[in-house]
Structure 1
Amino acid sequence: MIINKHIMRTTNEKQVLQQIVNSGPISRSQISRNLSLNKVTVSDIYSQLLHEGLIREVGHGVSTRNGGRKPVMALLNVGYGYVISINILRSRFSMITCRLDGKSENYESVSTRDVDLTTVLDMIDDRISATMSANENRLLGIAFGLDGVIYDNQILAASLKGFKNFDLAKYFSDKFQVPVVLENLASESAIYERDFAGEGLYHNLISVTIRDQVAAGIVTDDRLYRGHNGEAGNIGTCPLADRYHEENMETVNHYVAEGPVLQRIMAYQKIDRVDVNRIRRDYLGHRPELLSILDEFAYYLAKVLGNISNTFAPDAIIVNAPILELLPELMDKVRDYVGQMAILRKAPLLLTKNAKEASLLGGASAIIHKALGLDDLQLTFGNQRSAVLEGVES
């Protein structure tokens, strides 16, 4: 068999950079041992990355017990550039800037209520331009997340008017001359759970997001699964039998999506805007009207989660829902309903640790992978260590 030397070199370069991102500060000799590559190859790639400014040296580790020179330690150079991640929802968009080590900055949420698509794009354009003007480092890429079916960086279906088949990636890539990646919100949340929150614990997980739609992001063997044309996880349109009259069927979105649930709450409260403080107050005060609405929500959500657990057998299911972030105690009722189901597989049901930014950070991870040329390799964020370590061999 003839091995293409260029492919070997590219693979080695990616793996060395992956080691520095995931395990830095780290020495060349430790990278060599971790990858079973000879030291000359590692040193050559290391020097190239250092010359390009992708990594930086941060001090020395500790020499071996036998003495010798202390090894120079390297980290990813977060000053090399930054990325922007944007989520577009029905009546707002949210945005963060993110360093290459996954640290987020400058979260903002902008209302787009009663605004058309062209104006929304202009508003996003203005925010990106303002961020670039205020940042001395260079923009390396942009990620967009939205509810819908996305495949091969194209929007095949969307809950937002005007976005279906609109080439959002090309529009902003042409404007800012950087790579742009698109994902649906559920897939971004699943990436977040894998790369930021999971710490390598769950290799097969499902993140269920409840926003304008109910959707599932699926990670199998650490890889995002999109299915045919990106349609995997589109559970919001699946039918559910009515709790009291099984012959009546509605969609999962009807019973569980954020909009319909909040509409029911506002209707009983006789107000036309969501008042989260009042929802929390009524819940703690055991208002029967609210408890009834939330019991219905918990029951139908349990049906969805139980079926997912039994069908996919994931290591864990992580739920990302603002209503559950506001009322985390409600998750116990969901677990109780799942516990009553006659199913073989009951995966752990968890709440995300960061409902507000989970999908944004998942998008940031996706574009960081792209910017670093590491699309097919696992990166883990959020566990950066001190610059000088103890017990590192030379």
Structure 2
Amino acid sequence: MIINKHIMRTTNEKQVLQQIVNAGPISRSQISRNLSLNKVTVSDIYSELLHEGLIREVGHGVSTRNGGRKPVMALLNVDYGYVISINLLRQRFTMLACRLDGKSEDYTSVSTRNVDLTSVLDMIEEHIRQMMGDRDTRLLGLSFGLDGVIYENQILNAGLNGLKDFDLAKYFGDKFNVPVVLENLANEAAIFERDFSGEGVYENLISVTIRDQVSAGIITNGHLYRGHRGEAGVIGKCPLADRYQEQNHETVNHYVSETSVLKRIMAYQKLDRVDVNRIRRDYLGHQPELLAILDEFSYYLAKVLANISSSFAPDAILLNAPILELLPELMDDVRGYVDKLAIPRKAPLLLTKNAKEASLMGGASAIIHRVLALDDLQLTFRNERPVVLEQIES
């Protein structure tokens, strides 16, 4: 069972590894009970994973009430290797290294303003190699997130010029000889909410990402829903009626995208760059021009969220938006506008816990699933479980 991009696992192998990832430290006997599998089958798979170095034994658990040997406990071996997640944004790219248990390390943000795509790709390669040089373990896989439509690991449409139909996965896969997963930012954010919030917390959720475009990642019954050729969740191009003249229509992106809102703010502030401190100060100072812009943003965002809530009836809608992270008070305005609308289902509206890294960590989860050959199974990260351990004597 060698971990590579061509790996295949049996159903039993997948389930045993899933148990160790999600429930470790865990014993072979507990895995056998959880899965209703023969102990010999579990032991054979366990031994192969241990020999491979993908899992490690960390101590002994507590004996049963009847006494007997204390069970040996196993965990995923996070020193086996790591993955790197990259987000390609309009004027920068961000990177994050992640262990196989989902713990993030070494966040990096690099400006690409006025830099052509070829140079951006070279910069990404340089930073990947730099991350690799700083580690003793091996790189197992890469993920890339971007605004656009991704289908079968190919870019069908992209917000960044030059990326449409470019085989980004092959380009970096050939350079580093590892599997590469492509995903749009909203889907990555939805994966983050599903995999890092705790087992079973969100079986049906929608994560709305507001960046250069407005898009939605959709989780149904624990699985990512992509729709026809990956087009599910492309809501930014949908029309919205004007607040004051309903016969006039603009797109959701026009009213709600981060790019559009920040352009309006920079225009009234007479600045050529975003000054987040100034935005926060003007908001707290009740600056009329800023409040008017933000009220428009809240109103139109509420219309979008109400439509999503009525159409999909999710357990919750999670919002991933830097403007809301900067001004979380706006959530009350958004909820207030939604409450005024006559819709049958009003899902809870929540602000994501980690807007800066959510998509990156969701991308890391996607590539971890791939390198472990567990694409179709739920992995739950940072699921701390108390256990009594004793060191194994060497």
TM-score by length of 1: 0.96
Q: Deviations over 1:40-89 (max 9, x none)?
A: 11111101100000000000100011111100000000000000000000
Q: Deviations over 1:167-187 (max 9, x none)?
A: 000000000000000000000
AA partner of residue 299 (structure 1)? Y
1:200 positional shift = 1.7
Q: Does 1:320 align with 2:320?
A: yes
CA RMSD in angstroms, aligned pairs only: 1.2
AA partner of residue 182 (structure 2)? L
* SS of the residue 2:141 aligns to: strand
1:98 counterpart residue number: 98
Question: Retained in 1: the 8 A contact 2:63–2:70?
Answer: yes
Quote the Cα distance in structure 2 between the aligned partners of 1:70 and 1:112.
Answer: 56
Q: Deviations over 1:223-271 (max 9, x none)?
A: 0000000000000000000000001100000000001100111111111
1:284 positional shift = 0.8
1:222 counterpart residue number: 222
Unaligned runs of 5+ in 1: 1-7
Q: Deviations over 1:101-160 (max 9, x none)?
A: 000000010000000010000000000111111211000000000000000000000010
Question: Retained in 1: the 8 A contact 2:198–2:383?
Answer: no
AA partner of residue 369 (structure 1)? H
Quote the Cα distance in structure 1 between the aligned partners of 2:259 and 2:375.
Answer: 34
Quote the Cα distance in structure 2 between the aligned partners of 1:33 and 1:389.
Answer: 20
1:347 counterpart residue number: 347
Q: Does 1:274 align with 2:274?
A: yes
Instruction: Rate the CA distance shift 1:115–1:225 in 2: closer, same or farther, 3 A.
Output: same
AA partner of residue 197 (structure 2)? A
AA partner of residue 306 (structure 1)? A
1:191 counterpart residue number: 191
1:198 positional shift = 4.7
AA partner of residue 330 (structure 1)? L
Question: Retained in 1: the 8 A contact 2:9–2:373?
Answer: no
1:389 positional shift = 5.6
1:190-269, aligned counterparts within 5 Å? Answer: 190-269=190-269
Quote the Cα distance in structure 2 between the aligned partners of 1:351 and 1:127.
Answer: 31
Question: Retained in 1: the 8 A contact 2:59–2:389?
Answer: no
AA partner of residue 376 (structure 2)? D
Identity percentage over the alignment? 80
AA partner of residue 68 (structure 1)? G
Question: Retained in 2: the 8 A contact 1:280–1:326?
Answer: yes
Question: Retained in 1: the 8 A contact 2:27–2:71?
Answer: yes
Quote the Cα distance in structure 1 between the aligned partners of 2:384 and 2:186.
Answer: 26
Instruction: Rate the CA distance shift 1:139–1:9 in 2: closer, same or farther, 3 A.
Output: closer
AA partner of residue 296 (structure 1)? E
1:287 counterpart residue number: 287
1:295 positional shift = 0.3
Moved over 6 A (4+): none
2:154 counterpart residue number: 154
Aligned length: 383
Question: Retained in 2: the 8 A contact 1:141–1:178?
Answer: yes
Quote the Cα distance in structure 2 between the aligned partners of 1:46 and 1:150.
Answer: 36
Q: Does 1:299 align with 2:299?
A: yes
AA partner of residue 272 (structure 1)? D
2:3 counterpart residue number: none
AA partner of residue 347 (structure 2)? A
1:313 positional shift = 0.6
Question: Retained in 2: the 8 A contact 1:195–1:379?
Answer: yes
Moved more, 296-305 or 190-199: 190-199
Q: Does 1:137 align with 2:134?
A: no
1:10 counterpart residue number: 10
1:179 counterpart residue number: 179
AA partner of residue 319 (structure 1)? L
1:199 positional shift = 3.7
Quote the Cα distance in structure 2 between the aligned partners of 1:78 and 1:366.
Answer: 16
Q: Does 1:124 align with 2:124?
A: yes
2:5 counterpart residue number: none
Question: Retained in 2: the 8 A contact 1:86–1:360?
Answer: yes
* SS of the residue 2:388 aligns to: coil
1:387 positional shift = 5.9
1:5 counterpart residue number: none
Unaligned runs of 5+ in 2: 1-7
Quote the Cα distance in structure 2 between the aligned partners of 1:83 and 1:235.
Answer: 30
1:384 positional shift = 3.0
Question: Retained in 2: the 8 A contact 1:197–1:353?
Answer: no
* SS of the residue 2:166 aligns to: coil
1:3 counterpart residue number: none
TM-score by length of 2: 0.96
1:385 positional shift = 3.3
Moved more, 378-387 or 355-364: 378-387
